[in-house]
C-alpha cells in the first residue's frame, strides 16, 4: 500500500511539476531552426532523452535487483514543439526502471521513459561493472556504459551513448551516490533537409540518495547533462 502511494505521488509530481501544458505540447513534428540554433536545441533534446542515473553504483549481486517507477522534471532551453527559446521551460517524464545483478560484479539495466504531453518515448540500457565492490569501511567504485534511443518523434531521429564513473557508500538504510561522465548523442533532423545532424558531446553529473524503508525504497536523484538539469523521485524495491 505504501509503495502504491509513493508511485501515485511520483506520477502526480510529474503531472504538476514545471510548466503546465495541453496534450501534444511536447511533440516535435517539425524543426524550423538554423544550424547554430539546432545545435543548441540538440543539447536540450539530449538532456530530455538520455539515460538518467537513478540508483547507487554498488553491485546488486547475482540474486539482486532494483525495480521502480520514477518521475522526472527535465530542463529544456527550448519549447519542444515550436523550438521557441525559454530559459525557464521544463518537461516531465515518467520512467520504469529495472536493474539486475549478474556474476562478477556486473549489473545490467533498462529504462523506458514516456515524455508527457507527447507521443515520444525512449528506451535505454546500461551495463555497469563494480571496479571495487565496497564494504563497511570503504565505498564502491563503478564504471557504466549506456545507450538510449527514441520513438514517436516525427521530426527527429535520436540516439545517444554514455559512459560514467560512480561512487556510492551505504550507511545503515541510506545510500548516497555520485557519478561523473560524458554523453554523446546523434540528433538527426530527418524532415528538414537543410539541416545537418548534430552530435553534441556533453558532460554528465549525477547524484542522489536512496533510502530503504524496509517495505520499499525511495530515491531522490539529480542529473545534469551539459547545462540542463533534471530532478527525479523514484519509488520501488531494491534487494
Residue-wise pLDDT tens digits, 180-219? 999 999 999 999 999 999 999 999 999 999 999 989 999 9
Q: What is the pLDDT of residues 106-149, one digit of tens each?
A: 999 999 999 999 999 999 999 999 999 988 889 999 999 999 99
The answer to whether 158 and 177 are in contact (CB under 8 A) is: no
* DSSP tag of 158: E
Res 158: pLDDT: 99
Please name the CATH architecture into which domain 2-238 falls. Beta Barrel (2.40)
Q: Please state the pTM of the whole predicted model.
A: 0.89
State the Cα torsion 49-55-61-66 to the nearest 10°: -80
Question: What are the DSSP E strand ranges found in 80-120?
Answer: 90-101, 106-115
Q: Quick one: DSSP state of residue 20? A: -
Amino acid at each position: 500500500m505504501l509503495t502504491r502511494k509513493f508511485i501515485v505521488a511520483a506520477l502526480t509530481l510529474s503531472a504538476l511539476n514545471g510548466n503546465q501544458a495541453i496534450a501534444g505540447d511536447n511533440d516535435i513534428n517539425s524543426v524550423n531552426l538554423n544550424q547554430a540554433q539546432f545545435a543548441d536545441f540538440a543539447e536540450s533534446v539530449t538532456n530530455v532523452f538520455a539515460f538518467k542515473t537513478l540508483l547507487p553504483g554498488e553491485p546488486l549481486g547475482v540474486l539482486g535487483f532494483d525495480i521502480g517507477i520514477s518521475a522526472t522534471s527535465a530542463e529544456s532551453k527550448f519549447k519542444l514543439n515550436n523550438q521557441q527559446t525559454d530559459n525557464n521551460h521544463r518537461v516531465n517524464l515518467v520512467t520504469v526502471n529495472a536493474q539486475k545483478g549478474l556474476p562478477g560484479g556486473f549489473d545490467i539495466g533498462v529504462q523506458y521513459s514516456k515524455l508527457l504531453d507527447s507521443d515520444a518515448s525512449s528506451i535505454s540500457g546500461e551495463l555497469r561493472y563494480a571496479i571495487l565492490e565496497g564494504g563497511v569501511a570503504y565505498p564502491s567504485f563503478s564504471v557504466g556504459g549506456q545507450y538510449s534511443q527514441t520513438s514517436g518523434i516525427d521530426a527527429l531521429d535520436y540516439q545517444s551513448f554514455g559512459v560514467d564513473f560512480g561512487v556510492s557508500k551505504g550507511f545503515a538504510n541510506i545510500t548516497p551516490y555520485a557519478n561523473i561522465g560524458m554523453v554523446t548523442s546523434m540528433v538527426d533532423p530527418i524532415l528538414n533537409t537543410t539541416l545537418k545532424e548534430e552530435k553534441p558531446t556533453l558532460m554528465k553529473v549525477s547524484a542522489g540518495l536512496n533510502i530503504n524503508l524496509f517495505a520499499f525504497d525511495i530515491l531522490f536523484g539529480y542529473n545534469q547533462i551539459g547545462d540542463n538539469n533534471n530532478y527525479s523521485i523514484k519509488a520501488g524495491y531494491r534487494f
